[in-house]
């Protein structure tokens, strides 16, 4: 009986309240990035609403490893949650690469409709098969092109340039279709690679370019919005099972709220950051006609189709057509 009583005390704590459940959340955003800010508010709000019964431990800025490594840890259960890029999820669920089909989305509103609607309905059950519970989609943003050599207005201007991409299939397909030479470099090594001139340029959203101070080495930017990337908030199924239904409801609601916050912050910041990059940081910003870029993407689309399968590609493009009106 003494052993049983001791076990109860350990489980509920000396105060008689249930011991807190700790959930580790790993991600690759800095503390000042909109997703880093939203993550801190997610933590605070979950802990407040659960009266401290659910604790969120944050590990941002790649401290737990590279983005693919963090997702692997979540799959293994060593880390409970992650904000993982679509490209990282595509390593385990190849159909996720459809999201990165070049020039599929015309604007943020269209991306929201698809990501939060038909695509979520498709992805959530598939993620569950991998023991990942889908909570929400945060935001990394539309991706732009920067380089240290010259203005890039057409694909011909990019011919032969060495462009850094993450280990992401569709991003590499874009660079190659445009005539560039895609070079895979880990996110944590991106800044140093730019400083050392290992490559000529890179592609990332405006917020990331600004946050990482890539303007210190990249003089030219082309606003292409060539693909949209998000950070998918997933939690290991076994970790999820540690929570009560009410706690799961709170965590889900706060994840969705944080996703909305991250999107708003990122989008509000973009206009301010672009103006500062151009007027203060000395970046030459081009806003090219996208017609020639879209016309060059045939090979990239075929590569994506080959990667995800014709049926999955059609399913996604049907969503694009449905939501482009």
pLDDT per position as a tens digit, 105-137:
999 999 999 999 999 999 999 999 999 999 999
CATH of 141-228+271-312, one of 3.40.50.300, 3.40.50.2300, 3.40.190.170, 1.20.120.1200: 3.40.190.170
Phi, psi of 200 (to 5 degrees): -85, -30
pLDDT per position as a tens digit, 139-171:
999 999 999 999 999 999 999 999 999 989 999
Q: For position 325, what pLDDT does the model report? A: 79
Between strands 231-236 and 132-137, the pairing is: antiparallel
Apex CA 206: angle with CA 42 and CA 119, to 5°? Answer: 60
Mean pLDDT, residues 83-93 taken together: 96
**C-beta atoms surrounding 47 within 10 Å:** 17
Is 80 exceeded by the pLDDT of residue 282? yes
Residue matched to tokens 């301010």: 272
Mean pLDDT of the chain: 94
Q: For position 9, what pLDDT does the model report? A: 43
* 2-140+230-267 belongs to CATH 3.40.190.170: yes
Name the pLDDT band for 19 (thresholds 50, 70, 90).
confident
pLDDT per position as a tens digit, 1-14:
444 444 444 444 44
Question: CB-based contacts of 259: which residues, under 8 Å, 6+ apart?
Answer: 38, 136, 137, 138, 139, 233
Mean pLDDT, residues 256-268 taken together: 98
Q: Do domains 2-140+230-267 and 141-228+271-312 have the same CATH topology?
A: yes
Is 60 exceeded by the pLDDT of residue 35? yes
- H helices of the chain, in order, are 2-12, 34-49, 67-76, 86-89, 108-116, 118-129, 155-158, 169-177, 190-195, 206-211, 237-240, 245-279, 291-295, 298-308, 310-323
Apex CA 319: angle with CA 207 and CA 294, to 5°? Answer: 60
Integer Cα distance of 16 and 243 in angstroms:
18
In the chain, % of residues over pLDDT 70: 94
Q: Where are the domains of the chain?
A: 2-140+230-267, 141-228+271-312
Give the residue with greater pLDDT, 21 vs 4: 21
């Amino acid at each position: 009986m003494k052993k049983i009583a001791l076990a109860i005390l350990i489980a509920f704590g000396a105060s008689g309240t249930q011991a807190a459940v700790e959930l580790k959340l790993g991600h690759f955003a800095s503390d000042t990035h909109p997703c880093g800010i939203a993550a801190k508010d997610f933590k605070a709000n979950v802990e407040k609403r659960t009266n401290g019964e659910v604790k969120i431990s944050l590990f941002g800025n790649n401290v737990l490893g590279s983005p693919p490594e963090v997702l692997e840890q979540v799959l293994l259960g060593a880390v409970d949650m992650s904000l993982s890029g679509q490209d990282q999820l595509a390593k385990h669920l190849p159909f996720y690469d459809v999201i990165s089909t070049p020039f599929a989305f015309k604007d943020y509103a269209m991306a929201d409709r698809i990501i939060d609607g038909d695509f979520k309905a498709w992805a959530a059950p598939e993620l569950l098969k991998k023991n990942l519970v889908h909570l929400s989609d945060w935001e990394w943003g539309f991706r732009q092109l920067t380089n240290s050599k010259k203005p890039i207005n057409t694909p011909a201007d990019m011919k032969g340039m060495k462009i850094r991409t993450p280990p992401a299939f569709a991003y590499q397909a874009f660079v190659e279709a445009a005539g560039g030479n895609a070079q895979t470099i880990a996110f944590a090594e991106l800044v140093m690679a730019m400083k050392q001139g290992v490559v000529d340029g890179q592609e990332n959203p405006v917020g990331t370019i600004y946050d990482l101070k890539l303007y210190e080495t990249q003089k030219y930017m082309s606003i292409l919005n060539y693909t949209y990337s998000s950070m998918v908030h997933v939690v290991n199924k076994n970790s999820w099972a540690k929570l009560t239904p009410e706690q799961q409801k709170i965590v889900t609601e706060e994840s969705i709220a944080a996703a909305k916050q991250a999107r708003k912050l990122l989008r509000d910041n973009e206009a301010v950051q672009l103006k500062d990059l151009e007027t203060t940081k000395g970046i030459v910003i081009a806003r090219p006609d996208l017609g020639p870029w879209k016309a060059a993407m045939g090979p990239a689309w075929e590569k994506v189709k080959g990667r995800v399968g014709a049926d999955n590609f059609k399913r996604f493009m049907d969503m694009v057509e449905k939501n482009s009106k």
